[in-house]
Chains A and B, each alone.
Chain A
Amino acid sequence: MALLSDRDEKEVRTKLAGLTGRVTLVNFTQELSCQYCRETEQLLKEVAAVSDKIALEVYNFQLDKAQVAQYGVDKVPATAVVGAKDYGIRFYGIPLGYEFGAFLSAVQDVSGGTTDLAPESRTALAELAQPVRLQVFSTPT
């Protein structure tokens, strides 16, 4: 059974119609001890199917150690949203509900490789001198 309804699929297709650059969804999954791994992979397949600019790669968290290390993933389900380069955007857990909107926005942002942040924000970010890891905790509703 599809996770995206026909109406959802249409909305996703519309929202992602303007993608310019290619996006790769890099999914890390495992068979056991992962509540929503299977559903996350299915959701990503359905999203990737709506645009020829989106590709999906699926790796096993237990077996594909090189890719786990490359993307710095430490829990599953995990999805790296990668554009022309890896901007370090990771979704942990199934991106449904409120988080699905953020997920689609991430796809759009990495596709273009640009943001609409204000000049003041860009200036402030340019002053950063050390790595910053943001972890944003949210729920689907």
Chain B
Amino acid sequence: MRLAQQLAVESDLVTADLVEVTEFPSLAQRYQVRAVPRTVVNESGSFSGALPEAEFVKAVIAAAQSR
């Protein structure tokens, strides 16, 4: 989770929502959250797991650029 926050501090284009999924079950269903942490990028891309920094940044950029 901290990486998402750090990306938001580093880039004016990035925002980071940290969502406690048990309080928002409808979102868990919408985004098919079955394991945490799960990161959703721009409503479309997503990945699971706590990735190391380089992989996290790569995954975010790839998801942001995917259609």
Contacts and interface: CB of A to CB of B under 8 A. Distances in A.
A106 interface: yes
A36, A102, A117, A134 pick with most chain B CB within 10 angstroms: A134
B5 A109 contact: yes
Interface residues of B, number: 41
B42 A115 contact: no
Contact of B17 (A117, A124, A133): A133
Contacts of A140: 20, 22
B1 A99 contact: yes
A134 B36 contact: no
A137 B27 contact: yes
Given A99-B20, A130-B64, A139-B21, 14 more contacts: A87-B9, A87-B15, A102-B5, A109-B9, A117-B6, A128-B14, A128-B64, A132-B60, A133-B17, A133-B42, A136-B40, A137-B33, A137-B38, A137-B40
